[in-house]
Amino acid sequence: MIGTNPTGTAAIPNQGHGVLVSGAPNNRIGSATDAAGGNVMSGNRNAGIAFSLAGVGGNVVYGNKIGTSKSGTEAIRNGTGVLLLAGANGVVIGGDTSKRNLISGNTGSGVYIALNSNNHTISGNYIGTNVSGTAPLGNGIAGITVLSSGNQIGGASSRLANRIAGNPVGIAISGSAATLNTIRFNTIGTTTVPNTGSGIQFTSNASGNTVGPSNTIQGNQTGVRVNDGSINNRITRNSFSSNTNLGIDLLPLPGINPQDAGDADGGANRGQNSPTFVGSPLKIGNDLRINFRVNSTTTNSAYPLAIEFYSSDGSGEGRAYLAGTTYTAADLAIGTKLVNFVGTAANLVVGSTKIIALATDANGNTSEFSAEHVLAAPLAAALATQANPTQAAATQTSEKLAANKNGIVSPLEATNMVNAMNTRSTQEGEGEQPRAFGPLPYEVNIRDQALEELSLEEKGSGLIFVTQRASTRRFAR
């Protein structure tokens, strides 16, 4: 009991820190095996425990209650829970479940990592909740505040997940020295215990950090907020749901950013534009087929872009990662990219599942989430209820193309062919003069209005017809 009465139910404050480890290596504070639950380090005027000055490492903090009563159900506030000061390096706070610290109820941050205090690991803790993780017992400023670099929050598996919930901000990464920090496999807010502000926020030029994979970011006001001036912050393969505002919000513009032409805008993560879907995402068999583009020039984004597709939570946030692809400068030159993910749609429901996407440039600038789109069936299914046989005949062509995946031509093949034709700008059809094939990009999508401008028709062996507006052009395959 460090800072409390003998039963750990009320503060008897130390005037400074409860424990200060200054330049000393290889200390273990607490225990991973103590049935009594480690130390109670609460009620102190400054930090429950602080590390300062350079040591050779080996300091670990296991199984303590820092800022709460011994029962872990009430706050007995320290100023800060765990304070990592300049010079301290590589402190390990928590680990798997047996090493979990409860760091809650403190006046400032649960964990505060100061400038020049680097490479710490914070894993497996409850930060901002009660001892069972089921109710808020928030720290006053943030669950974790990071001003330095190379820190890992969470770990390589869910076994090392922190639960960071019930705080005003879950994780605050701030300042230009805050770089190369990794946040993965954590629970950041829950529907019952949200962080009342952002789950994660990057401010004051914090750049070059990674959120993901496998954080569950739920119920917060904003999931991840990136403020103006913070760039190159990669957000990849997380689960977002039920955040009150956006899952990912890039500032300075609060709310959904416009897709500015060419993506010349700046701001957080350079205002990276999100992918634009061309037509509906399709479920074809168990495959997921998506046609998309990204409106960003090679000047304004570093290519290639990484594109991630998710099923959405229904309110514009990516809940479950589905598949990813790249979008290269060559794809940009063509315009759209059609991707087919084999087997990915097996558990997705036509007419119900909504698909949503993120783009991240090669420097790690992740966009906000794209608009979400309801998963659709191939045209054949839609045609079944269509009364007009003429229309059906006209659009039946596309259905054939989809059906003939292993036959003459598939939509993917057709698109590639059209793109190749456009790349050459001219074509040589049988009995026709070479001619330009028209402006970029063509949009080949079974349920897209572009069908009115361009349809693909199979006729006989080895030929496809491409109908553009009023004219028909024929290509040898």
Q: Is 12 in the site for Ca ion (CB under 5 A)?
A: no
Which residue has the CB atom at the shortest distance from Ca ion? 271
Residue among 224, 250, 278, 356 that touches Ca ion (CB under 5 A)? 250
Q: Closer to Ca ion at the Cβ: 236 or 296?
A: 296
Q: Closer to Ca ion at the Cβ: 207 or 273?
A: 273
Number of residues that bind Ca ion (CB under 5 A): 11
Q: Which amino acid is at 338?
A: L
Residue among 117, 209, 265, 415 that touches Ca ion (CB under 5 A)? 265
Q: Is 253 in the site for Ca ion (CB under 5 A)?
A: yes
* Chain-centroid distance, C-alpha 223: 9
Cβ 142 to Ca ion shortest distance, Å: 21
| Host H or E run for residue 111 | strand 111-113
Choices 95-103, 206-214, 254-262, 333-341; region in contact with Ca ion by CB under 5 A: 254-262
Q: Is 257 in the site for Ca ion (CB under 5 A)?
A: yes
Cβ 220 to Ca ion shortest distance, Å: 15
Question: Residue 116 carries which DSSP code?
Answer: T
Exposure letters 246-282 (e unless 16+ CB within 10 A, then b): bbbbbbeeeebbebeeebebebbbbbbbbbbbbbbbb
Q: Report d(CA 220, CA 172) in Å as an integer.
A: 14
Cβ 277 to Ca ion shortest distance, Å: 17
Structure tokens at 447: 């349920």
Choices 12-20, 267-275, 333-341, 389-397; region in contact with Ca ion by CB under 5 A: 267-275
Q: Is 249 in the site for Ca ion (CB under 5 A)?
A: yes
Q: Closer to Ca ion at the Cβ: 190 or 300?
A: 300
Pairing of strands 471-476, 463-468: antiparallel
Cβ 279 to Ca ion shortest distance, Å: 22
Structure tokens at 96: 């798997």
* CA quadruple 377, 380, 386, 392: dihedral sign: positive
Q: Closer to Ca ion at the Cβ: 10 or 264?
A: 264
DSSP 307-324: EEEEEE-SSS-EEEEEEE
> 270-309: which residues touch Ca ion (CB under 5 A)?
270-271, 273, 300
Report how far apart, in Å, the C-alpha atoms of 68 and of each of 2, 41, 145, 262, 349 are. 11, 8, 19, 52, 46
Q: Closer to Ca ion at the Cβ: 141 or 256?
A: 256
Contacting residues toward Ca ion, per CB under 5 A: 249-250, 253, 257, 260, 263, 265, 270-271, 273, 300
